[in-house]
């Protein structure tokens, strides 16, 4: 598995966990009848902080661990191929295109809730949901391109 594939896998696992955490927190909020703007915006903050901080740390830790495993296996200094070539850039570009597309559709559906007379809270809840889902779909698309060759 290449450097880029590892990065994407870490990001994918991270965002799936974030989505799970988000849905469980929302479910508990609705169950406990505490679905209000203060709690929803707090959850927004938590999700964004986790997405940024955990992704960075998880990527670093994954590379350290995989380098250690590689060094133990081969008994040589690990060779980390961290260059990004034209194919990596094209795959990233295609993945970003998919992420943006899903995100735009999600934003549209989130705005649509206003048409049906829903409060802004529903729109904000859906907005971050689609944001995370878009990232997951984009990562799956990138991984598929890497597995296929392009």
Residues that bind another protein (CB under 8 A): 2-3, 81, 83, 85-88, 146, 148-150
Question: Cβ 144 to another protein, closest distance in Å?
Answer: 12
Nearer to another protein, 73 or 148 (CB): 148
Nearer to another protein, 116 or 150 (CB): 150
Question: Cβ 2 to another protein, closest distance in Å?
Answer: 5
Nearest in space to 51 (alpha carbons), one of 86, 23, 99, 11: 11
CA distance 10 to 16: 10
- Which pair of tokens denotes residue 148? 């296929």
Nearer to another protein, 33 or 85 (CB): 85
Alpha carbons within 13 A on the beta-carbon side of 7? 13
Question: Cβ 37 to another protein, closest distance in Å?
Answer: 47
| DSSP-derived secondary structure letter, 85 | -
């Amino acid at each position: 598995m290449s450097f880029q594939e590892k990065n994407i896998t870490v990001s994918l696992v991270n965002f799936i966990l974030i989505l799970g955490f988000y849905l469980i927190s929302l479910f508990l909020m609705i169950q406990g009848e505490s679905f209000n703007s203060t709690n929803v915006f707090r959850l927004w903050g938590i999700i964004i902080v986790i997405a940024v901080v955990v992704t960075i740390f998880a990527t670093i830790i994954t590379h350290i661990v995989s380098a250690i495993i590689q060094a133990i296996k081969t008994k040589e200094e690990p060779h980390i191929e961290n260059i990004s070539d034209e194919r990596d850039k094209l795959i990233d570009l295609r993945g970003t295109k998919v992420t943006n597309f899903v995100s735009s559709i999600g934003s549209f559906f989130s705005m649509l809730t206003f048409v049906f007379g829903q409060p802004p809270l529903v729109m904000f809840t859906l907005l971050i949901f689609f944001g995370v889902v878009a990232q997951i779909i984009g990562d799956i698309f990138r991984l598929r391109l890497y597995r296929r060759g392009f």
